[in-house]
Structure 1
Amino acid sequence: MQITAAITRGTGEPFEITTLELDDPRAGEVQVKLTATGICHTDAIVRDQVYPTPLPAVLGHEGAGVVEKVGEGVTTVAPGDKVVLGFNSCGSCQQCLGGMPAYCQHFYDYNFSGTRPDGTTALSDGETAVSSHFFGQSSFASHANVSARSVVKVDDDAPLELLGPLGCGLMTGAGSIINSLSVGAGESVAIFGTGAVGSAAIMAAAAVGATTIIAIDLVDSRLERAREYGATHTINSGSEDLTARLAEITAEQGVNVALDTTGITAVTRQAADAVGIKGRVGLVGAPALGDEATFEVGASLLKGWSFRTIIEGDAVPQDFIPRLVHLWRNGQFPIEKLIKTYPLDQINQAFEDSKSGETIKPIVTF
């Protein structure tokens, strides 16, 4: 069938709106008519080939829409179901079987290779193959053939124009707080970076009862908004003394948890320095492959602190996305405060607004 899609043809080039050919869903796949798709930093770094998905490609991995067809063997959803789309995984490796699909042994192959596991692509442009199945979906398109493991059914009254980002960025931020770092009631948390992932982390920290939630960024407008959904303190690390302010807020004890959402190694070091005794540090940003961070390990040996990298908030999408929808319904995860929608033909502007900080979470609508 013919579909409309935003294609990435070359490294760093603007997205081009074009007509492509989409094949029929194969066994284990679901064909989804997209309603909306969030824009994530990962889309930008793949467009720029920081991560090497083959081009030309249709990116997009925060889709939401309605099931139109199901392939052989699919029993989890049916035509007419509303769905949110998450990342893909093999389902059979040790990590998947252990309930940790974000650490799937074949994560790259299933999410970044640009093909199905058998090497075929669902998309073509005339005689040219176009990379598909980005994060199991390639949702910068009017329709997509999606791995059944990427599909999460939601309630019939769920607002699909809002919920796509639950499939990656917002799930990552919230899951980092709830799943990965196990933030508890009464704890103190420092969130470095208040984009979509950091904002979701702030909301989640408030939802679980953290009592000191420190938002750190360079953009004052983002910091002001962070107070609307849970931040108790804000620090502009470009104009304020970060170390002094953290010491003031925590009575020189350091925070219990620090989360770096920026992927900038100098910030990762700042996050490590921010925690106190038995502190936990998480990294969810996407540094370039090969980047390294340094930590002080002499005096900090007495702190017993821990550091870990986090993928997709350690979430199982079929479990965690419905939980976030419930938090949203209860007013504890107000994602509407982050969102601005753009029609597909304004996708390049949406990326620019995300980069500048004007829009925290752009969503492309169809």
Structure 2
Amino acid sequence: MLIKAAVINEKGNEFIIEDVELAEPKYNEVLVKIVATGVCHTDSVVRDQLIPTPLPIVLGHEGAGIVEKVGPGVSNFEVGDHVGISFSSCGCCSNCLEGHAYMCEDFNKLNFGGIMNDGTTRLSKDGKEIAMLFGQSTFATHSVVNTRNITKVDKDVDLRLIGPLGCGIQTGAGTVLNRLKPEFGSSIVVFGCGAVGFSAIMAAKLTGCSKIIAVGRSAEKLELAKELGATDVVNSKEITDVVAEIKKITNGGANYTVETTAVPEIVNQALYALRTLGTSAIVGATGDVTINVQNALMGEGKSMIGVIEGDSIPQVFIPKIIEYYKEGKFPFDKLIKFYKFEEINKAFEDSKKGSVIKPILVMND
């Protein structure tokens, strides 16, 4: 079928909305009419080829929509189901079989290799293949996805909001709830006031942390952090020694830190801000970092861990977050600004400037 999709033809180019061909769903796949899709930093780094993928490519990996057609072998979804779309996994490797699909042995191939689970793409133009991202490529009016990628969601929730739960929000919240699991009354610091950082703050509030400290450079965003659950904020534009300020607030250092910025200097701050035996979770796609292992890590028995997709099983985790949202305990809608699909380049520009926290592209009817 012919669909509209935002195509990146060359490294760093702007998105061009074109007519492309979408193949029929194959075994264990469904056709989804995309209602809306989030804009994530990962889309930017793929567009700029900091994470290399085949080109041309259709990006978008925080999709949400309505099932329009089911392929052979599909028994757990039907036409009309509302679904959120998340990362791709093989379902066959030892990590997938042990419930760690977010660490699938083929994660990079299936999410950044431009292909679906069967090794082919569903997108083409003029007979030439177009690569896919995360097995979904939801910067498009329709998408064909494997059922392992999708989660059925309640129809009483605005479907336009659901997409970011599949990546950015899932990453921040899951890092706290699934991996760190802070004890009641413990302290946590979140570095970075973006969608991932704010999601970590909201999750920390759910756990009953006594100190939830947000670190950022925007007074406006730090105010929002307090509204979402931060007990304290540190403006790194105004505070010269961020680590000293955190140790003052926590009476010696935090039990946990979450680093979302991918800035090497801040990675070090996240380590030095910990108390003895503390744990720092790194979720940003960070390059080379110079660390004094003795002083920053080993000498005080600290742990530094990397977390992918919040250690989440989307089909289990996303419905839980939606329930908390419906109860008013996880107001992630406060992070969102909607854009028309045709405004995709503006959405990316505003996200880069920091004037919007989580842009969501809404498709035309």
Q: Distance in 1 between matches of 2:290 and 2:16?
A: 36
Closer/same/farther in 2, CA of residues 179 and 126 from structure 1, 3 Å limit: same
What's 1:49 paired with? 49
Q: Distance in 1 between matches of 2:296 and 2:175?
A: 27
Q: Distance in 2 between matches of 1:283 and 1:24?
A: 39
What's 2:347 paired with? 350
4+ runs deviating over 6 angstroms: none
AA of the residue aligned to 1:184: E
AA of the residue aligned to 2:334: K
AA of the residue aligned to 2:228: Y
1:239 aligns with 2:238: yes
TM-score (norm 1): 0.96
Q: Distance in 2 between matches of 1:106 and 1:300?
A: 31
Closer/same/farther in 2, CA of residues 293 and 82 from structure 1, 3 Å limit: farther
AA of the residue aligned to 1:44: S
What's 2:113 paired with? 113
AA of the residue aligned to 2:21: E
Show the 5 A alignment for 1:7-86: 7-86=7-86
What's 2:259 paired with? 260
Does the aligned pair in 2 maintain the 1:109–1:117 contact within 8 Å?
no
Structure 1 stretch 299-308 or stretch 325-334: which is displaced more?
299-308
Does the aligned pair in 2 maintain the 1:88–1:110 contact within 8 Å?
yes
Q: Distance in 2 between matches of 1:301 and 1:171?
A: 30
Show the 5 A alignment for 1:252-331: 253-288=252-287, 291-298=288-295, 301-331=298-328
Structure 2: gaps of 5 or more residues:
none
Q: Distance in 1 between matches of 2:146 and 2:257?
A: 34
Q: Distance in 1 between matches of 2:296 and 2:32?
A: 54
AA of the residue aligned to 1:343: K
**Which digits, 9 at most, give the CA deviation of each residue in 1:124-168, with x for residues without a partner?**
121321112x11211100000011100100112121111110000
Does the aligned pair in 2 maintain the 1:65–1:160 contact within 8 Å?
yes
Q: Distance in 2 between matches of 1:249 and 1:45?
A: 35
* Amino-acid identity (%): 46
Structure 1: gaps of 5 or more residues:
none
Does the aligned pair in 2 maintain the 1:86–1:150 contact within 8 Å?
yes
Does the aligned pair in 2 maintain the 1:269–1:295 contact within 8 Å?
no
Q: Distance in 2 between matches of 1:76 and 1:217?
A: 43
AA of the residue aligned to 2:178: N
SS at match of 2:9: coil
TM superposition shift of 1:246: 0.9
TM superposition shift of 1:115: 1.4
Of residues 339, 359, 363 in structure 2, which corresponds to 1:362?
359
Q: Distance in 2 between matches of 1:124 and 1:328?
A: 38
TM-score (norm 2): 0.97
TM superposition shift of 1:299: 7.5
1:192 aligns with 2:177: no
